[in-house]
């Protein structure tokens, strides 16, 4: 549950619990709650699965956006981009940032961690014997605290809903916002308009990208329907976020067909757009220019093998 909804629920539930007549007392109690302080917490310290979570709270109530990166260890653009948000100060709303989720995979510069492809483990039960299940279970708790979820990735070539060429077609993952469905119907009758949100994020991002070859597209994988080509995505973090916790979840994919600095720049553009479209205000967003990423020496990251082509 996001901060905004937690505050609303508390404001409604506390007076109800203590009964009429004590409303003022209850309100004072609510007001006495200290503002949550931004902080960083490390989980599974000194193990091969150690990772940090950066909780960044705004003073004004608003939605909470969770940014997860490094679920695949061979997609350096994702975790380098996410690390640029670990000290952001929100004014309205909150950010929860997990830059390097799959530590074992990142250290090995491989897609898979200790328990295989972590982005296929989110449909396992909490009691599963997969070695990565404790990491997955913790992320599920973070998703519960959020309203929006971003999972950052890097893949080869360019997604396009139509077949343009061998490197630009519906089977590719680069430069797209991945959603599992356009509209999700909540039991209450309300709808989560993921398609609308992803489209607005794409439009906002593309305004900052001069070269049209690198414009983002919305990639609706229609994961739940029988005829989907992406059945495997039913184990993904974003699919779990939407179908189990009813959160607006988007996979942000940038291409590997560019320099690392450019990839981080494209991801920064997409994340900034997602933050703004979610209605979260921060004191200052990271720079989107490639020059700002010039310090990212390519040598810092081992050359990415072209053998792995998944996003």
For Zn ion, the binding residues (CB under 5 A) are 72, 75, 153
Q: For Zn ion, give the closer residue by CB, 143 or 178.
A: 178
Residue 29 or residue 230: which is nearer to Zn ion going by CB?
A: 230
Q: How far is the CB of 300 from Zn ion (least distance, A)?
A: 19
Q: How far apart are CA 20 and CA 16, in angstroms?
A: 7
Q: In Å, how far are 66, 78, 117 from 289, measured between CA atoms? A: 23, 16, 32
User: 94, 48 in Cβ contact below 8 A?
Assistant: no
Least separation in angstroms between CB 72 and Zn ion: 4
- 294 CB-near residues (< 8 Å, 6+ apart): 261
Rounded least distance, CB 265 to Zn ion, Å? 18
Q: Give min distance, CB of 98 to Zn ion, in A.
A: 14
For the bound state, the minimum distance from the C-beta of residue 291 to Zn ion, rounded and expressed in Å, comes to 26
Question: In this complex, which beta carbon is closest to Zn ion, that of residue 271 or of residue 282?
Answer: 271
Distance in Å, CB of 263 to Zn ion, minimum:
12
Closer CB to Zn ion, residue 101 or residue 282?
101
Q: To which H or E segment does residue 149 belong?
A: strand 148-155
- Residues sharing a CB contact under 8 Å with residue 270, sequence separation 6 or more, in sequence order: 177, 201, 205, 216, 252, 254
Residue 153 or 172 having the CB closest to Zn ion: 153
| Minimum distance of Zn ion from residue 221's CB (angstroms) | 13
Residue closest to Zn ion, measured at CB: 153
> What is the C-alpha to C-alpha distance for residues 16 and 30, in angstroms, rounded to an integer?
13
DSSP state of 219: E
> Tell me, what DSSP letter sits at residue 59?
S
Alpha helices in the chain (DSSP H): 3-18, 23-32, 76-82, 103-108, 133-144, 194-206, 237-245, 260-277
* Cβ distance to Zn ion smaller for residue 2 or 251: 251
Alpha carbon distances (Å) from 66 to 53, 83, 127, 206, 238: 10, 13, 24, 22, 11
Of residues 94 and 102, the one with the C-beta less far from Zn ion: 102
What's the rounded Cα separation, in Å, for the pair 21 and 2? 29
């Amino acid at each position: 549950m996001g901060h905004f909804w937690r505050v609303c629920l508390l404001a409604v539930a506390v007076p109800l619990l203590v009964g009429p007549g004590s409303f003022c007392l209850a309100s004072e109690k609510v007001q006495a709650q200290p503002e949550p302080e931004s902080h960083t917490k490390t989980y599974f310290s000194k193990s091969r699965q150690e990772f940090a979570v950066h909780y960044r709270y705004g003073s004004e109530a608003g939605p909470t956006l969770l940014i997860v990166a490094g679920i695949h260890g061979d997609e350096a653009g994702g975790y380098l981009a996410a690390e640029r948000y670990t000290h952001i100060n929100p004014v309205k709303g909150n950010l929860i940032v997990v830059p390097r989720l799959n530590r074992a995979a990142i250290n090995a510069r491989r897609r898979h961690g200790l328990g295989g492809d972590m982005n296929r483990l989110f449909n396992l039960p909490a009691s599963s014997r997969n070695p990565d299940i404790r990491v997955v279970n913790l992320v599920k708790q973070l998703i519960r605290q959020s309203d929006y979820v971003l999972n950052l990735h890097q893949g080869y070539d360019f997604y396009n809903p139509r077949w343009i060429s061998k490197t630009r077609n519906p089977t590719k993952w680069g430069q797209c916002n991945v959603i599992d469905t356009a509209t999700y119907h909540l039991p209450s009758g309300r709808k989560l308009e993921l398609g609308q949100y992803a489209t607005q994020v794409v439009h906002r991002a593309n305004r900052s990208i001069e070269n049209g070859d690198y414009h983002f597209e919305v990639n609706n994988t229609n994961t739940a329907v029988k005829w989907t080509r992406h059945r495997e995505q039913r184990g993904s973090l974003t699919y779990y976020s939407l179908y189990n916790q009813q959160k607006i979840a988007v996979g942000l994919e940038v291409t590997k067909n560019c320099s690392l600095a450019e990839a981080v720049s494209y991801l920064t553009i997409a994340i900034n757009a997602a933050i703004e479209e979610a209605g979260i205000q921060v004191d200052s967003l990271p720079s989107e220019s490639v020059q700002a990423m010039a310090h990212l020496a390519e040598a810092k990251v081992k050359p990415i093998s072209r053998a792995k082509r998944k996003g």
